[in-house]
Structure 1
Amino acid sequence: MDQTGCYPVKLYIYDLSRGMARQMSPLMLGKQLDGIWHTAIVVHGKEYFFVGEGINNCSPGSTSMGEPLSVVDMGFTQVPAEIFMEYLTSLAESTYRGDNYNLFEHNCNTFSNEVAEFLTGQKIPAYITDLPSEVLSTPFGQALRPLLDSIVVNPGGSNITGQQ
């Protein structure tokens, strides 16, 4: 917390493909993708993200994906940790239960966007939230959709509700 009673909010951005999307996407999709994005919100000393088992958290940058590819400063929030945890618990019991995870429509980026808006009033960058529709707009993306729909991303961390 700084002197004004505000807490910094960061968006951690990871490339799940570790550079492969940039190399392979022109051949496979007919368009350039810079990465396959996984995002998390860092606030109150923890990194929060949504995966197939629900909302998880860990120390910033300590997922199995290592250090983030980039960090975006989302601004500051006046929401204290206790209120934020109540908000996350509510999300974990409703909108962001693990069984609601979907790689294209309801994923870590959807979560990061919603949480960033709650905390700061700011959306995460559109190139991240627009990626699923970009992939699905290609014939190859449509052909791979059944396979891709079965993929669940899990970079580790502890579930905030203690459930798996």
Structure 2
Amino acid sequence: MASGQAVKLFVYDLTKGLASQLAPMIIGRPLDGIWHTSIVCYNQEFFFGGMGIESCPPCGTILGSPDKQVHLGSTEVPSEMFYEYLSQLGSDTFKPQKYELFHHNCNNFSSEVAQFLTGKDIPSYITDLPGEILSTPMGQMIKNMLENTQVSPGAGQTTRHF
């Protein structure tokens, strides 16, 4: 029996380590990072942001290599079916105009896609982070500043929108 397609979660700290240093002073509690995630399978990295659902070669975003790679398992979903699924998500649930940094973001997308492909969710320390930040007074104050953060493929990388 052939094994399925590997599915990985790429985890990036958007602050490049600053969150762990500054969070106790700014929001009064420690944070390991401010996470951006993507799903890697079928030789592509898939993510959601202000431009909608996009893909590029693995490590092809402006963020470069991920801080962590989490093996989520494997999938038997054929690539054609997966691309159809992404197309449906991109025309409804994950339209560009539905992106919200704290409530409907790349991590929500990664969670949904991981469950579709593997039946497993991404780690809760990632999906719980927005609520943890917003539960602090300073988190509410910096919300507007942070909502303008976006990730896109790096220069010269091919991109596919769904």
Normalised to the residue count of structure 1, the TM-score between the two structures is 0.92
Q: Distance in 2 between matches of 1:59 and 1:147?
A: 29
How many correspondences in the alignment?
158
1:119-143 deviations in whole A, cap 9, x for unaligned? Answer: 0000000000000001001110012
Residue matched to 1:103: 101
Residue matched to 2:110: 112
Q: Distance in 2 between matches of 1:41 and 1:92?
A: 15
Q: Distance in 2 between matches of 1:35 and 1:134?
A: 12
1:44-64 deviations in whole A, cap 9, x for unaligned? Answer: 110000010100101011211
Residue matched to 1:160: 161
**Cα RMSD over matched residues?**
1.2
Normalised to the residue count of structure 2, the TM-score between the two structures is 0.93
- The percent of aligned pairs where both chains have the same amino acid is 47
Residue matched to 2:45: 47
Residue matched to 2:86: 88
Q: Where does structure 1 lack aligned partners over 5 or more consecutive residues?
A: none
Q: Distance in 1 between matches of 2:127 and 2:58?
A: 22
Contact 1:16 1:35 in 2 (8 A): yes
Contact 2:56 2:160 in 1 (8 A): no
Q: Where does structure 2 lack aligned partners over 5 or more consecutive residues?
A: none
| AA matched with 2:98 | N
Give the Å deviation of 1:5: 4.5
